[in-house]
Each structure stands twice: as structure tokens, then as C-alpha cells.
Structure 1
């Protein structure tokens, strides 16, 4: 049977009482409330300084066309395909996409696969090459297309994404891989977030500079032991910079399998701008790298 894991750090941190109250508020008040619930203080949205304040500002204010598609996973893959030669990345093959998962029920694919919603984050099911999309999988994912990630957090680009199921090949043949998440500002990587054991109860997270110096910081997930720099770090940095260079900020998620660099996804709103970095100085340091676009103000 396919395995299912939900990365619910944000959902569990924002307790049901917070979610109920937030759902009753207009967008600007809701954003302040969610930020207060996660950070313990109100955001400076008129003059944002920290990274999380600027993420919150983007959520409320930035409606530029160049951001509209960045939460649509199929559109992200199109972006990576266009730049794959220059970026030196491989893009996972889309095995099927559609709005009725029952259409592929009973189908066996010739490789390990991953099932996710095209318009949401944190939901995923894994299958081996011998696994089929069975009735249990169809039932367990029935609500995936009913919810809109924009509804609570106000993340506008999610509201523009097509509500579809996306089934694609699993990078690395389905073996657990580290997630490398590059924080890219105007085409330059400021920091790298490395997640190990994602979608498991043993998940850890570390941060590094592009020179692979450890940064002492935590965000929701506990820090783990040091992670060795990937052998193709220079190629991964190059890929992240090419894929993220057209944005004032974008988190570019990549994987590596030996010498190969694989595209994961783009993330314009990391942690919904609500989660607290420890120490807070990292939030300020990261925010200093981000020059918000005057055209969106």
C-alpha cells in the first residue's frame, strides 16, 4: 500500500482555536492575527524589515503576474523545463494529472511514484513501482481538491493554481532523499535549508551558508547533526540561482542523486510567514537580503 505522510507543522502550530478565529477576520486582520499566534508579536506590515514580515507583506500586497503561477506545481515544472539546460537540472516526469483520481485507479506505473495536489503543499502519498492507485488511495485523497490553501493563510498564488491531482515519478527511485531548499534573493543564494526525514516523525532541519558554514538557527523542526555538503554543491547553487533569478525572493527546492540535480518545487511563501525563527536575529538577517519590489507597493 502507498505510504502517506502529512507535514503538519504549520497546521499543528496554529491550533484549531487560532484557525477558527482567523477564519472570521478580513485578510489584513487575519494576517496580523496569524503572525501574532506564531511569532508572539505583531508584524510591521507598513514597513516590513524581517524575512517573515516581508513574506507576510507579499501575501497581503504582491499580486504581480510573475507570482501568480508560482504555487501551481505543473507551472513550476514548466518553468524548470524552460531553464533546465542552463540550470543543469532534471525535472521529474509527470505520469498523470487530472481532477478525478479514479480515472487511474488500478493502474500500475513502471516506476516509484509520488501523488500530490497541484495547488497545495504538505500533502503527499508515495507508491512503489508495484503499487496501484487503489480505492483506499482514492478515498484518502478525496478532500485534497476541496480545500484551498489560500482560504486560511491568504497565500494568493495558491488561489491561482489549478485544482488537480499530480502523479509524478519519485526522484531517486523512491529512496529517502535530503531536501535542499535554497533561499534565493535576486538570483543570489543567501542560505540553504536542509531537511532530513521529511514526512516522518524523525524530521530534522539545518541551515547553511552557500560556503556550507553551519548557521545556528531553528524553525519549528528541531536541528539535527551536521550534514556534509553535497559533492555537487556548486552545481546545485548554480541551478537555484538560475531558477530563482527572476524573482526578488524565491525558495528553490532541489534534490541530488550523485552527480544529478533534480528540481523539486518553488516556494514563494515559506511557512506562511507565520513561524518563528530562533534566534530572531536570523529573521532580521535574512530580511536584510530582500528588497521588496516597488511596483507591488
Structure 2
């Protein structure tokens, strides 16, 4: 089975993404699009009347919760002000520029090492470790590809609607190993981190996701990627928990992404809709167990 067919079999919802990208599903309402995509991804009907699974509740969240602060917080540049006001500057990585287009970037003025990423994206990143061996033309093509992605249309993530594409430049955080820095992603509910996963071996074909509770006990969950059994509890884990509490306080649910490198903690990003609510937690029972943390009863439903 070739790689394309394998992707279709394992992720049939990507068929919908492709049709949406071509504008062939514009006639569908937001709710109907989400219901169809969910059915393809999970093989079951999306319960929006009484959601139980975490993925169901994330999709309910997309449709019915509207807080303008969320739009500020998904913007990789604007969120810096929110972080500054909430926990101060100490956890922010150095930012050396924000541009409205690729053409505005003066490559010669960039430092020898840097990171570039869209302000309205998630996970899209261009890394330069040494300008002497860096292909700027290829990087521009990659950024152009990123500029055409839209979480608002692909997975109907409300907070990304009307967030403009810009490019933010940041200092390259030095990793303690040869791989990209590890991501510690805390799932928070009403200001309390309840569990997390660690993304390790990023930038390779062997990306790993490992889930833990807030006491660093490993959870038997698979979520799209295999496991890294060599992970150790981060040195500043308790500090990370406190940062996650402060940054998540205004929201019924948000994922707070942090890094631990260079003997300190760095802020990464805030994510409101983990994988758009369209990626399985396996075994499936964990989708429902994790969903128990997300209490929708106190949320005022917006139409």
C-alpha cells in the first residue's frame, strides 16, 4: 500500500479537507461540515446535544463558545502581550521581527540562527541553524505554502477566523540534544492543568507523543504517534504547572504549550482545539475519560 493510499485509509477525514480546500464544500454549514468530518474520522456520530468524549466537546467548543480573547491568543505575535500581562516577560522567547508578507523580510538582516513561523498557524515552522548552509529560496516556498493553510476553513476552528497571516521571527532556542526542542503540552480546564503530552523527536520521521497526568504518571494513551519511553520528568515541572494555571485561568479549556531548555522555561503557544477535535485518543475509552475534565455546563452557549 503506497503512502497516499495509507493516509486515506487511516485518515479518511482528509478527503473532506481536500474538498474544502477546493471550495467544493462551501454549501455546507459549519455544523454539518464538522459532523461529516467527525463521522469520517471516528466512525461514529458526533453527539453535540450531550457530548461526552473530549473530541466531541472540542467540536462543541468550536461551534458554541465565543471569547474574543481567544482570537488574540491564537495569534503568535499578539499572544505575547497576553503572556506579558499574565506572567511577565521572563518566559517569552526573543522576538526580532513581525512581517505582513514574505517580501518584507530582509534576509541579510536576520541573525545567523532563527525561527520563522506564521502568526495564524500551529506547528508550521522554518528553522535556520546556520545561514551558511540555509536555503532561503526553499524557506520562502515553505512559508508561501503555510500562508495558504487555514484552520478556520479546514477544521472550522472559530478562534482562527479573521486572524491575518503574518510571519514572526524568533531566536532559535538551543536544544539539549540534536533534535528539535521538546514540547510540553498541558491540557487545562477552568485554570487547572489536568494532563499533558510531550512531543519529542520533532523534525524527524519518528515524532513521539507521550501522555502523563499532572503528577507525571504515564498514561496509556496513543494520539497519532508512537511513544518515547526514555522521557524524564522535566526539572521545572512544578513551575510549568503554575505557568499553565495562570495562562489558562480565563478559559473553560486551553492547551498551554511550554518548553524547557537552556535551564529555564519558555512559553510556546496556546491551543484551544487540540488537533481540531478530529484525531483519535486510543484506546477509545480514553477519549471519554479525558472528556470528563471538560465541564460544558457552566459555559454559556453562543450561536
- Please, what TM-score do these two structures have when normalized by structure 2? 0.86
* SS of alignment partner, residue 59 of structure 2: helix
Confirm whether residue 35 of structure 1 aligns to residue 55 of structure 2: no
Residue matched to 2:162: 160
Partner in structure 1 of residue 126 of structure 2: 125
For residue 17 of structure 2, the aligned residue among 13, 16, 19 is 19
The question of 1:45 aligning with 2:48 is answered: yes
Match of 1:113 in 2: 114
Alignment partner, residue 289 of structure 1: 293
Moved more, 132-141 or 113-122: 132-141
Does the 8 Å CA contact 1:190/1:286 hold for their aligned counterparts? Answer: no
Post-superposition offset of 1:165: 1.2
Q: CA-to-partner distance for each residue in 1:156-175, whole Å, 9 max, x for gaps?
A: 11113221111111222696
CA distance in 1, matches of 2:105, 2:69: 33
Tell me the CA shift for residue 14 of structure 1.
4.6
Q: CA deviation at 1:51?
A: 0.9
Q: Post-superposition shift, 1:30?
A: 0.8
Is the 8 Å Cα contact of residues 99 and 105 (structure 2) preserved in structure 1? no
Q: How does 1:1-297 map to 2 (within 5 A)?
A: 13-14=11-12, 16-21=14-19, 24=25, 25-85=28-88, 89-110=90-111, 112-130=113-131, 134-172=136-174, 176-257=180-261, 259-292=263-296, 293-297=298-302
Unaligned stretches of 5+ residues in structure 2: 1-6
CA contact (8 A) 1:171 1:262 kept: no
RMSD, aligned CA? 2.4
Q: TM-score, normalised by structure 1?
A: 0.88
Greater RCO, CA 8 A, separation 6+: 1
Q: How many residue pairs were aligned?
A: 286
Whether the aligned pair in 2 keeps the contact of 1:110 and 1:129 (CA below 8 Å) is no
**Whole-Å separation in 2 of the counterparts to 1:168 and 1:258:** 15
